[in-house]
Chain A
Amino acid sequence: GDSVTQMEGPVTLSEEAFLTINCTYTATGYPSLFWYVQYPGEGLQLLLKATKADDKGSNKGFEATYRKETTSFHLEKGSVQVSDSAVYFCALGPNEKLTFGTGTRLTIIP
């Protein structure tokens, strides 16, 4: 079945550092790929998405490129801020239900 493997956390970075959170997937067909973010005590919010190979999703300075050849959708940001501290989830779909990774907790220190 479909599955998502995420980089294990927690990840701690200094403000303005470069961020990469790895995500690889296993799926049949041509899934859409998503990154969701969860701030403390809240539900998940869609951060970005890509619906086909070589698409790049971007939002709030975050980017991820759908790489079919490496079955990856790594999340990157050039300069992180304290406000980026959250848990990040990679997910794939559509199908009837999304399949989520286990989440990566990111903490940014000033």
Chain B
Amino acid sequence: DGGITQSPKYLFRKEGQNVTLSCEQNLNHDAMYWYRQDPGQGLRLIYYSQIVNDFQKGDIAEGYSVSREKKESFPLTVTSAQKNPTAFYLCAGRRGATGELFFGEGSRLTVL
């Protein structure tokens, strides 16, 4: 088995704590993405990375940080500066020039 693996699937944290969501891929995708999903708002892009050691902000990057130290891994940290972090987070990898994305199963973060 392989693909895009996200962990944990469910995560509960207290307000003010930083949280890191893991995303690993074995599909040799160059580009990786983090999206946030809220009810009725579709998917919003947080950060993306097209090559190792480089990443760009998406539409809602404030309060989040990422790293891309190796091709296979693209972790997302939800910091205490994110005002409303409770959401479903989706990681994806991109294959080739067509822009088709392959998604992980998501991580649901609840801040208490």
Binding site for B on A (CB under 8 A): 32, 34, 36, 41-46, 49, 51, 89, 93-98, 100-103
Within 8 A of A (CB), among B51-104: 56, 58, 90, 92, 97-104
Q: Which residues on A sit within 8 Å (CB–CB) of B92?
A: 43-44
| Structural contact, A96 and B103, CB atoms closer than 8 A | no
Given the known interface contacts A42-B106, A43-B104, the answer about A98 and B99 at a Cβ–Cβ threshold of 8 Å is yes
Q: How far is the CA of A41 from the CA of B90 in the complex (A)?
A: 11
| Structural contact, A103 and B33, CB atoms closer than 8 A | no
| Least distance between B66 CB and chain A CB atoms (Å) | 14
Q: Pick the contact of A97 from B4, B6, B45, B102 — CB < 8 Å?
A: B45
Q: Which residues on A sit within 8 Å (CB–CB) of B45?
A: 97
| Structural contact, A44 and B100, CB atoms closer than 8 A | no
Main secondary structure on A side of the interface with B: loop
Given the known interface contacts A43-B103, A97-B48, A97-B58, the answer about A49 and B98 at a Cβ–Cβ threshold of 8 Å is yes
| Contact residues on B (Cβ < 8 Å of other chain), bracket | 20 to 34
Q: How far is the CA of A96 from the CA of B55 in the complex (A)?
A: 12
B110 CB-CB contact with A under 8 Å: no
Q: Which residues on A sit within 8 Å (CB–CB) of B103?
A: 36, 43-45
Q: Which residues on A sit within 8 Å (CB–CB) of B99?
A: 32, 34, 93-95, 98
B42 CB-CB contact with A under 8 Å: yes
- Among the interface residues A95, A100, A102, which one has the most CB atoms of the partner chain B within 10 A? A100
Given the known interface contacts A46-B100, A94-B99, the answer about A100 and B43 at a Cβ–Cβ threshold of 8 Å is yes
Q: Pick the contact of A102 from B31, B33, B41, B48 — CB < 8 Å?
A: B41
Can you name the residue of chain A whose Cβ is closest to the Cβ of B48? A97
| Least distance between A45 CB and chain B CB atoms (Å) | 7
Q: Which residues on B sit within 8 Å (CB–CB) of A101?
A: 42
The 9 A-B pairs of least Cβ separation, nearest first, read A93-B99, A94-B99, A43-B103, A102-B42, A100-B43, A44-B103, A43-B105, A43-B106, A100-B42
Q: How far is the CA of A97 from the CA of B4 in the complex (A)?
A: 17
